[in-house]
Every structure is written in structure tokens, then in C-alpha cells.
Chain A
């Protein structure tokens, strides 16, 4: 008796009770689809976080003041930024970019656009923050030194203000001052709620003059010479900052520093670890539903065997060996789980095209293989008990069964 024949018998057995077979498959389908999809969601959110962090640049650290509007001796200034470039105190610092940022309205020929982050900085910032310029060029060090009113705009700004027009060399108005557009940033993958393309970058002094005034810096972006030296740079920077920024004991507790250092690679590690835990948790929950689906198969196959006891008796009387009966029911169970599993994979692949709770799922190929493999194993395992019960039936008992 060939294998194909046994499969045909099994298919006929399944199609004899379509609704029941379909519902059993649905259990496996949901199990497999949820394993793949939830792992994909976990993976997708991890990827989103790491993308966002990598966009900041993994070989940089950002210094921010924790003392908002506090006394001037704890705020970040350009002098401090200059001090950080000291090659003897901080030999591993590649560049230091002081940053001021505020929101602003850009106007071009009567069209207004509110930019969420209008950044004033130096030329080094483009490289350090991993923000390449697409069209045109970044402003030069000379522009920064002279405080010339030139601006590099993000994709969103370019689309809003210059639909179908080349924005290079156009004059825009920001807070009553004229700025010349010199470049457009390359499109950045936008993750989360914030549009990272809705930005504009201008020389530090120009922004200070027009928008933010000559107060404290928003932050300082420091680039390390090598991604491995980020931690070293962090300690060097801390040392300098501790010297420069004296904490007034009365205003804050002596243990806390008036600044905060954000280390992108550390952040990345923490976030990845959190996301992994999250993914594992989601996968485990989904695996339980797969298990429940498997128990559904056992249940249905037990019912099937009981229902078809007489048929088993007939088959045995006609000379079906134990092995053939075992195979028939095993294959029926496995077909249920395999078809259910395959449909589950299809459902997951379709589902992954949509955003789920604000996360774009990213399918992990191994999870597809694993879920399919597990569903086949479930069919064999959970189908094994009913199948062996069927095969062990004695023909006279089975024939006498009503």
C-alpha cells in the first residue's frame, strides 16, 4: 500500500467532516499565525527602537543639561563645548557639536510650515548625527564662523514648501529673517510618532541670533574617534564637565550631576535586551495557543476514532495491517496540523503587512520554520495517541461496536 494511497484515505477521512476539520485547523492556524505574528511584532518594535537609536549615531554621546532654566554656572555653554575638544583632556573625541534647537515657522512665498525641530549647530553635526545631505551641500565651517543665514532642510519641509520646485538657493523666512536654502537632507527612516524628516539645520550663531538667543545650549553632541571608545569618551567628558559645572549644593542634592549623558550604544543594548524579553514573552503566550490547538487535534482525532471504530474493524477484516491504520490516522492528524500551519503562515505573512499597535511587524524567518515544524510535530504527537488506539483495536471488537 503506497504512501500516496494512505494520504488519499486520510484526505477522504478529513473531507467527510469538513466543518469539524476546518475548526480544528483554525485552532492550529491561530496558534501558528499568532506565534509568527507576535514574534514579528516584538522583533519589529525592537528594530524600531534600535533604528531610532542608530539614527542618533552609535559612536556618539549626547550631553544634556538636567537643570532647566537653572543658574548659569550649571548650564551648557559654547565655552564648555570648546573645552571638550581639548585633546589632552579628551584625546578620543573626534568632534564636538554644540546644538540649540527650537521650533520655528518657515515661510516661502506665502506658504507656512511649522518645523518641529529647528537645529542650530556646526558642520561636524551632520557627520556625527548620521544625517547626510542629499541635494545641495551642508553649510561650511566658514558659514558657521560668520553666522551666515543659510539652512539645510529635511524632506518633509522640502515637500511642504517647495512642491515640484528645486528648493536650492531659494530664500525662506524664519522669524522675520531671511535664510537661503543650501541643501536638502536625505530621507531618513521615520520611526515612532516623530517625523525625523520634519527638520531644518542652520549654523549655530544664525539660529541663536534669530530664534533662541544667546542662552544655554540645548545639548552637545560628541563624536568618538571609534565606536569602541564611546565609553572612554563618556568618562573623559564627565571629568571635564564635573570640573566646569559646579553644583550648587543648596539647589540640588550633591550626588546628582547637573547634566545627563546619553550614550547611544548603551541605550541600544538596554533597549535590545528589553525588546528580547518582550519578544520571548509574546512568543510564549502564542506558543500556549499553539499547544491548545494541538490538544484540539487530539480531541477531534479521539472522537473520530471512536466514531469510526466500525470502519476500522471493516478495514482490518479486509486485511489492513496495524501499520496502515496507524499511518492513516496519524496522517489525518498531521494533515490537519500541516494545512492549519500553512494557512497560519499565510495569515501571518498577510498580517505582517499591516501595522499592529503602531509597530510594523518584521517576520523572523526562523519563527516561521519553528512554528511550522512545531505544528507538524504537534500533529504527529497529539495524533499519535488516537492513532495508536485505532491501530490496537481488535477487529471483532471494532466490528461489534455500534
Chain B
């Protein structure tokens, strides 16, 4: 087995000082292998957003170590962190977070632009990523001309265009209706089947149920870690999803 994509040891995140101290994460250890599809669930205040920020190299832990694709992220400076976010992680946010007044294809190109890819190559890869999420015919549309589900699929295309080691989704279906949720989850199933490593943070059971592995977080600790389907197979919900959607 190659090295794990995520290797987290004794992760703690403490906000505030003195009596107002809050342990958002109280010692989380987690290993995610390549090709896994992990759903991290928990109610609000369980520390899942904090975990997401740390996993996404947007925040640094107070204690503990975090190796992302073999790189010790907790020791990186601002410049290297930006590089790690660009090369190793693809973000998908709850509120889509596309750049307004910018076409879908330009949004997808953006991480490649920061990676220094030449414009022609960039355009080619961006269009390829859009066709993966089934939106190649919407390339020239601006975010406000797209539905929520389409916007989120553009965001997914943007996340995977750099071929990152990890796709990190924070409540990707939180702002979507059930129809669009289905579309986006199908995309995740396909990506997982194609061997991508996906970590998805959610509080919706039906989203969690489709992942290969389910991790439950309560009060900053992992209380449950279940494998729902084997690592090297298509996720359980994928077949059903394909036909109902």
C-alpha cells in the first residue's frame, strides 16, 4: 500500500485562553488511504468544520501532526501552504464559492492559473474537468446563470482540475434541493469509482450513507468509524443513485 493521503495524529485545536478555552478538537487521529471515500458526520459544534479547515490547510492545529500526501503540513509557511492547497487539495464548499461575474470555465481555470499552467493547456484541462461533471455545454455561463446544482458541479470541476491528492467537500449538498443533491452525489460516486480520494463533511445521513467509510465526530472526538463498502469497489449507493437520478 502506498503512503496514506491523510495521516492525522493526536490533533487538538484550542480556541480562547484561560476559562474561556474551547477544545474544538480534543485529540483526533485518522488515517485515510488513497482511493477512500470518507464521510465525516457530526452535529454542529462537533468540531467537524475545524477539522475540515485543518485538513484543508486553511488552519493549523494547536497540537498534533498532520501529514498530507506525506507532507507535514503543520510545518509549512504561508507560501508553501498556498502551494499545498493548490497542488494537493481540491475544495468544494457549501456555498459553492465561485468567483462572481466570471465564466464557469474561467472559474475552473483559476487554480491552474495559480499553478502556472499555460493558458492553452489550462483551457483544455478546464473543459475536460467540466465534461467530467457533465457541464461542458455551460462553460461560458457565469455563476448567476447557473442553478445551484450546476454551480456546485462547476465547483467540483474546479476542485478536481489540478488532479489533487484529496478532494475535500464541506457540506457540498447543504444548499441544494434533493434533485441537485443527487446530481452532485453521483459525480462524487463516479470520482470515487475513478480512484479519487474524497473526504466529505456533512450532517445529512443520506449523504453519509453513500460513502465507503463513515466517521462520526462528537465534541471533538471520533466516536464511530465504520467501513460501509470495500476500499477498492464502487461505493454502495452508487448503483441505486445512478438509476433513481
The reply to whether chain A is a binding partner of chain B is yes
Q: How far is the CA of A50 from the CA of B114 in the complex (A)?
A: 60
Binding site for A on B (CB under 8 A): 53, 56, 58-59, 78-79, 82-87, 91, 93, 97-102, 110-111, 113-116, 158, 162
The dominant DSSP class at the A interface is helix
Bitwise, A250-275 to B at CB < 8 A (1) or not (0) is 00000000000000000000000000
Binding site for B on A (CB under 8 A): 1-2, 5, 12, 16, 310-311, 313-324, 394-396, 399
Interface contact B102-A320, CB-CB below 8 Å:
no
Q: In angstroms, how far is the closest chain A Cβ from the Cβ of B80?
A: 9
Give which listed residue, A2, A16, A319, A394, contacts B86 with CB less than 8 A: A319
A16-B101, A311-B100, A318-B110 are known contacts; what are 15 more A-B pairs with Cβ within 8 Å?
A: A5-B113, A16-B100, A311-B99, A314-B98, A314-B99, A317-B58, A317-B91, A318-B91, A318-B111, A320-B86, A320-B114, A321-B114, A322-B78, A395-B58, A395-B85
Q: How far is the CA of A218 from the CA of B121 in the complex (A)?
A: 88
List residues of chain B with CB within 8 A of the CB of A394: 58
Task: Indicate whether A1 sits within 8 Å of B113 (C-beta atoms), given known contacts A319-B85, A399-B93.
Answer: yes
Q: How far is the CA of A1 from the CA of B111 in the complex (A)?
A: 10
Give which listed residue, B58, B86, B102, B115, contacts A12 with CB less than 8 A: B102
Give which listed residue, A2, A313, A315, A399, contacts B110 with CB less than 8 A: A315
Closest to B91 in A: A317
Closest to B85 in A: A319
List residues of chain A with CB within 8 A of the CB of B102: 12
Closest to A17 in B: B101
List residues of chain B with CB within 8 A of the CB of A12: 101-102
List residues of chain A with CB within 8 A of the CB of B83: 319, 321
Q: In angstroms, how far is the closest chain B Cβ from the Cβ of A303?
A: 16
Interface contact A318-B78, CB-CB below 8 Å:
no
Please list the 8 inter-chain residue pairs (A to B) with the smallest Cβ-Cβ separation, ordered nearest first: A319-B86, A321-B82, A318-B111, A319-B85, A319-B114, A314-B97, A396-B58, A395-B58
List residues of chain A with CB within 8 A of the CB of B110: 315, 318
Q: In angstroms, how far is the closest chain B Cβ from the Cβ of A137?
A: 76
Give which listed residue, B53, B78, B100, B116, contacts A1 with CB less than 8 A: B116
Interface contact A319-B97, CB-CB below 8 Å:
no
Interface contact A317-B56, CB-CB below 8 Å:
yes
Task: Indicate whether A399 sits within 8 Å of B58 (C-beta atoms), given known contacts A311-B99, A319-B114.
Answer: yes
